[in-house]
């Protein structure tokens, strides 16, 4: 059984109106690339750790970077939020906190041990 994430055709149909027009060259498969971007972000992986089924990591990163700079992902989120029945309660949390390795010992003084 595969743990990879794949967008369905119904999901892609909802997302396609937000995609920028292709200029010149044909884009690499949108479904494969977007599924890979979602998988990487969901699992907190580095781009180089992307499974081969999603294509080259450079392709995933380049699409993510280019579309992020163009505001495509923001438009997708805004558009999907507007379609929700109760758009007043939508919340997206992308918090990532990392404590320094000494953060747990800041309150302790050398030589003192609480009993």
23-27, 28-32, 95-99, 110-114 — most confident range: 28-32
Provide the token pair at 44: 């907190």
* 113 backbone dihedrals φ, ψ, rounded to 5°: -130, 125
**pLDDT at residue 37 greater than cutoff 60:** yes
**pLDDT at residue 110 greater than cutoff 80:** no
pLDDT for the residue 114: 55
Give Cα separations from 12 to 48, 86, 97 (angstroms): 25, 22, 31
pLDDT for the residue 107: 58
Which residues lie below 8 Å from residue 107, measured CB to CB, with a gap of 6+?
none
The CB-side HSE value for 20 (13 A sphere, CA atoms) comes to 16
**pLDDT at residue 22 greater than cutoff 60:** yes
């Amino acid at each position: 059984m595969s743990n990879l994430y794949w967008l369905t055709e119904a999901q892609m149909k909802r997302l396609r109106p937000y995609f920028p027009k292709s200029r010149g060259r044909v884009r690499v498969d949108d479904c494969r690339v977007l599924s890979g971007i979602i998988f990487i972000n969901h699992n907190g992986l580095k781009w180089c750790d992307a499974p081969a089924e999603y294509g080259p990591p450079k392709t995933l990163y380049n699409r993510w970077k280019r579309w992020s700079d163009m505001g495509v992902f923001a438009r997708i989120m805004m558009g999907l939020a507007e379609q929700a029945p109760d758009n007043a309660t939508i919340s997206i949390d992308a918090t990532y906190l990392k404590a320094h390795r000494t953060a747990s010992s800041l309150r302790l003084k050398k030589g003192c041990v609480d009993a």
